[in-house]
Structure 1
């Protein structure tokens, strides 16, 4: 990096990518910008359930950083520690070499990791759902279970391989169950060959009172209705008490034989935040309304890693959602540029655009600009929103969606990702609460 101001961005998720893209325009030719990220792509996470169920190919939701962020240097690796006094970031590259990079301005957009609760067996037997490896592995795993169920020696084993348990009825868990049941129904028809047998059985569990508890109750009812109509066993107020290789014990005392437990409970800020030794709130790094870290005017934070005050709800933090991450990234970029002499600082502000949950099969629950929608209209609005939000690959995604309507899905087990490559992180729970 040269003698111009050195701006380092940690993370290229929604917040980091948005920051880098905006800074590339705001500070063009006046600063050296580098992004530290483990992968050379930006991942559009909301479409991962469609990757896991064969609707979209994985490259469709992966936008290469080298083309999306021209002029920005990619440091391919993982940030390990930050020396705030020396203004250095220590990171490990893709071949485990330890390196350092100096900065004049730092943007922490490290994102989040899986949140685990003290439930025996979850780390060993559950599948996470945070990135491409998890989505690809889950697709292979589901496909394999249907193949093995077809040759099972007894009805008990067949039923266990036909049972899929999803824990967490938020955005991710609801979409995984909704898309998953469509995929396994397709696989089941291929393998049944006219045999009369119990088909795939999906359970969606959560300690909350309703599906999508963070959304308007009308959207929750829409999603719940679609899930139940497809045969998903939606159980609210219930969760997993223990997981084993043979199944899961539920908090109501029931044991469910299964070979598939998908963990979609939630996330917590990246551990890099805790290692800074700075004030946090709910594990997120405290920042002021301009996204600066108090006491460190050269450090900014945004996205899931930052405790950003919610201007619409005094006393609360902004939710950990992609919408906020993208907007906070733009605000962070504006204020970093302002600190380098380009423009004036401004606090974080936003307008709620609504939410969209893609349930597959021409169904969705959405409330664009506060207008509740369901059915095909909601599905059209949801996919339109995703196409507008994608920073690339729009034509390819739209083509895959069209092909999914015209052609049957390819039930192929690729074997590219093995279980050892996608473990759930064994983290200490934030609160010793009732399992969720």
Structure 2
């Protein structure tokens, strides 16, 4: 088959869904059957569930950044940039490269797996003063920031400043927020021993969530166990509470409390990537509405999965149910989406997505964890073994597995040196500076741009 006439497959996103799909296609495509391209700003897959451990220094950033160029079947062209618009009629994806250049990438088949971004609300000062935890850079930056608060508090002669620097607020009672609060609390608890001028009693961590329960998916017993572990450590948990406004030196809760703090970490859920809005297609709570086969109705050759797609949950038994945005679903959907794309390419029947829930794991740091593998409730060391065993086995490369295992062992034996690595600059970087949610086009802008390009005006 002539190279020019080979079908062009474009995969958008290098998360669990995108990378899993690419790897499956690399294995199953015949050598000259199609050209495969991946769009991602970074040439690695980030293992998101372990970000709290990077933020707390248990793991190094490199250990959970899995290189995309280690595959023995590597055949994918990688475009270093982010997709900012898709014209479904013209079959063109508009990409902003990491240098800021705008390029158009035509395709015959496209897999949309751009993932999600941090969900924010119209809360005064939130995006200007809060940190998110969705990227490797954010995790590394938060670690530097937290340690710098201890350094600055230790050097300060002002009791009010010292108190505000030693209070920390985490918003979000899901897995990300709970693990973040637990891991960073351990970081400050262990670090304060190296600061003899600081009163450990001044260090206060607040975990708040608007929901009435912490991690309700775990069930009543395990959720209560996790809550008790955190409270026993000294973390103050407030449920049914959120943020009313956020300032650079204090945060106001919706129950009227004003907490002096320089650290607000926002992990209150995610929403689909803004790329989905550029398509002008039907959505379900912001996620692209797709069939059980993960194809977009009315558009041949368009597939979507992961956090950005509302994939029907046929196994839940409820009308209108969709799969939650978890790594477990994204990994499984990736394989089937690749198989269904190949089926479409070869004129074969496609299969709907089905799954069996493997359970949930929550690593609270140290020897504390709660897990529910296959419905079995575990606490303490058995839960910790299951949680870390699950994460370790889910890492895609042996190099990553070795690094993570080594980091865990070294941290358990030698502890942490609490070294800042230099990310804390004079100008602080907050939530709005990491996710670039304002970089996307509207559907009309995408169509106009593609039209101008086709006329040779761009």
Q: TM-score, length-normalised on structure 2?
A: 0.90
Bigger shift: residues 244-253 or 130-139: 244-253
Q: Is the 1:15–1:303 contact (alpha carbons within 8 Å) kept by the matching residues of 2?
A: yes
Contact 2:218 2:372 in 1 (8 A): no
SS in 2 for 1:74: strand
Tell me the residue number matched to 2:454: none
| C-alpha distance after superposition, 1:151-206 (max 9, x if no partner) | 2222222111110000011011000000011000111111125x655242100000
1:78 to 2:82 alignment: yes
Q: Taking structure 1 as reference, are residues 52 and 38 closer, same or farther at Cα in structure 2, changes over 3 Å only? A: same
Contact 2:148 2:424 in 1 (8 A): no
Q: Secondary structure at the match of 1:387?
A: helix
Mapping 1:221-300, distance limit 5 Å: 221-300=224-303
Query: Which residue, 362, 374, 379 being the options, matches 1:374?
Result: 379
Runs of 4+ residues over 2 Å off in structure 1: 195-199, 416-428
Distance 1:375 1:320 in 2: 27
Match of 1:423 in 2: 431
Which position in structure 1 is the counterpart of 2:451?
none
User: Which of 341, 358, 363 is matched with 2:368 structurally?
Assistant: 363
Q: Does 1:98 align with 2:102?
A: yes
The Cα offsets for residues 37-58 of structure 1, whole Å up to 9 and x where unpaired, read as 1111100000001110111110
Deviations 1:108-129 (A, max 9, x none): 0011111111211111111111
Partner of residue 14, structure 1:
16
Return the match for 2:43 from 21, 30, 40.
40
Report the counterpart of residue 337 of structure 2 in structure 1. 332
- Aligned 8 A contact 1:66 1:74 in 2: no
The match for 1:143 among 120, 131, 147 is: 147
Report the Cα distance in structure 2 between the residues aligned to 1:152 and 1:214, rounded to whole angstroms: 43
Aligned to 1:414: 421
Q: Distance in 1 between matches of 2:386 and 2:264?
A: 31
Indicate whether 1:189 and 2:193 are aligned.
Answer: yes
- After superposition, the C-alpha distances for 1:332-365 in whole angstroms (9 at most, x for unaligned) are 1010011111864110010000011111102111
How far apart in 1 are the matches of 2:271 and 2:89? Answer: 26
Change beyond 3 A, Cα 1:28–1:375: farther
1:218 alignment counterpart = 221
Q: Give the C-alpha shift of residue 218 in structure 1.
A: 2.2
Matches within 5 A, 1:43-54: 43-54=46-57
Among 43, 59, 69, the residue aligned to 1:56: 59
TM-score norm. by structure 1 comes to: 0.94
1:301 and 2:309 matched: no
Deviation at 1:423, TM superposition (A): 3.1
- Give yes or no for contact 1:27–1:342 (8 Å, CA) kept in 2: no
Cα distance in 1 between the residues matched to 2:199 and 2:40: 50
Q: Are the equivalent residues in 2 in contact too, given 1:136–1:417 (CA < 8 A)?
A: no
Mapped partners of 1:359, 1:408: distance in 2: 16
Contact 1:159–1:198, Cα closer than 8 Å, also in 2: no
Map residues 115-134 of structure 1 onto 2, 5 A cutoff: 115-134=119-138
Q: CA deviation at 1:214?
A: 3.1
Contact 1:165 1:260 survives alignment (8 Å): yes
Cα 1:65/1:278, change in 2 over 3 Å: same
Structure 2 unaligned residues grouped into runs of 5+: 439-458
Deviations 1:298-329 (A, max 9, x none): 10000011111111223211101111111111
- Of stretches 411-420 and 45-54 in structure 1, the one that deviates more from structure 2 is 411-420
Per-residue CA deviation, residues 62-115 of structure 1 (Å, 9 max, x unaligned), is 011111471111111011211212211111212112212221110000111111
CA distance in 2 between counterparts of 1:215 and 1:281 reads 25
* Distance in 2 of aligned mates of 1:341 and 1:426: 38
Question: Does the Cα contact within 8 Å between 1:121 and 1:244 map onto a contact in 2?
Answer: yes
Is 2:192–2:200's contact at 8 Å kept on the other side of the alignment?
A: no
Shift in CA distance, 413/317, structure 1 to aligned 2, threshold 3 Å: same
Give the CA RMSD over aligned residues: 1.7
